[in-house]
């Protein structure tokens, strides 16, 4: 089944060129099914790129997914046209009375800041609190995962000595998240790009289970067995060239970021990186939506706080 996105969203053309199943609003309204309603809180500066990355993964599900794009009202990114935000994005006030199957909170390039120093932290906290009674399940990515764990469980992040940057193998933890991780092999690659981390002991002390971790980059995925909320500290959604773009950006900004590890073939920047993690991205998101479909109530107004 296809994913429903705004008919005039610029990302539509890119997704069509990749043969991602899309459905327009008029066709979706004629189908006698309830789509899975997913709201994407997009905190990344490159909004269009992030829209494509997540729509691509959600659109691979056999279920119909209706994607709502969300942004913060208290902070507008400088490098996104205001017209794009006005036309395609909604804020909490716009959807406060609506209910959703899932909320995805993306990463954001602000992880070195204390949570309370983030300009939209108060609003983000309000969004997370609202989600407890209006969203059945949450999925956080990188800083978004850290923010969710901080607000809901009080789990702190900590600064590392150097940025973890590259493609690292991660070990699947035995018997953890069996249905969600179905199809994964015991050791699989994930892109990592962050200056901070969360301690496994803190995560487990909060009652969460660690699904995957790496000796080099630490915890990669954790979840709450009670609510099903999923916290991904790395970036399975990344394109093949995303780490390369970040590397170029950092160097142009005068930062001493090292070449991403295990990324360029033979550590040669002139060679095209290979996306070895994409099959696991599709698998994880497909499992997540599948599991969500089995667990979520048909009547979303019956959602109760399970955190």
| CA dihedral of residues 205, 210, 214, 216 (deg, nearest 10) | -30
Q: And the tokens for 93?
A: 């006030």
**Helix, strand, coil percentages, rounded to 5, for the chain:** 35, 25, 40
- Show Cβ contacts of residue 68 under 8 Å, excluding neighbours closer than 6 positions: 37, 38, 39, 40, 90, 95, 100
- Give me the catalytic one of 111, 142, 170, 246: 142
Q: Is 99 a catalytic site residue?
A: no
Is 142 one of the annotated active-site residues of the chain?
yes
Among residues 66, 224, 235, 246, the one annotated as catalytic is 235
Chain Cα centroid distance, residue 252: 27
CB-facing half-sphere around the CA of 201: CA atoms within 13 A? 1
Nearest to 2 by CA among 60, 41, 77: 60
Q: State the Cα–Cα distance between residues 90 and 68, nearest whole angstrom.
A: 8
CA pair distance 29, 6, nearest whole angstrom:
13
Residues whose CB is less than 8 angstroms from the CB of residue 76 and which lie 6 or more positions away in sequence, other chains included: 82, 85
Whole-angstrom distance, CA of residue 35 vs CA of residue 218:
36
Q: Which among 66, 111, 237, 246 is annotated as catalytic? A: 237
**Cβ contact 127:148 at 8 Å:** no
Q: In the chain, what's the furthest Cα-to-Cα distance? A: 55
Helix 47-58 with 278-295: angle, nearest 10 deg: 70
Residue 224: active-site member? no
Residues labelled catalytic: 142, 235, 237
């Amino acid at each position: 089944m296809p994913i429903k996105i705004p008919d005039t969203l610029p990302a539509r053309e890119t997704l069509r060129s990749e043969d991602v199943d899309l459905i327009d609003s008029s066709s979706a309204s004629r189908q006698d099914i309830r789509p899975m309603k997913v709201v994407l809180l997009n905190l990344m500066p490159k909004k269009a790129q992030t829209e494509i990355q997540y729509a691509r993964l959600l659109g691979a599900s056999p279920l119909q997914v209706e994607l709502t794009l969300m942004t913060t009202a208290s902070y507008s990114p400088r490098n996104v046209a205001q017209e794009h935000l006005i036309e395609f994005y909604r804020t909490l006030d716009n959807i406060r009375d609506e209910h959703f199957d899932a909320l995805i909170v993306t990463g954001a390039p602000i992880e070195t800041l204390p949570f309370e120093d983030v300009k939209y932290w108060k609003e983000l906290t309000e969004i997370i609190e609202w989600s407890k009674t209006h969203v059945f399940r949450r999925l956080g990515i990188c800083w978004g995962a850290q923010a969710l764990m901080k607000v809901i469980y009080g789990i702190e992040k900590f600064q590392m000595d150097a940025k973890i940057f590259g493609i690292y193998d991660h070990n699947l933890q035995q018997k953890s998240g069996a249905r969600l991780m179905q199809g994964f092999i015991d050791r699989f690659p994930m892109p990592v790009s962050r200056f901070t981390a969360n301690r496994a002991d803190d995560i487990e002390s909060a009652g969460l289970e660690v699904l995957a971790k790496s000796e080099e980059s630490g915890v990669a995925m954790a979840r709450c067995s009670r609510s099903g909320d999923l916290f991904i500290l790395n970036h399975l959604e990344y394109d093949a060239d995303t780490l390369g773009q970040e590397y170029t950006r950092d160097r142009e900004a005068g930062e001493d970021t090292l070449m991403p590890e295990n990324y360029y073939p033979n550590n040669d920047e002139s060679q095209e990186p290979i996306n070895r993690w994409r099959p696991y991205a599709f698998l994880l998101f497909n499992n997540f939506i599948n599991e969500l479909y089995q667990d979520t109530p048909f009547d979303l107004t019956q959602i109760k706080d399970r955190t």
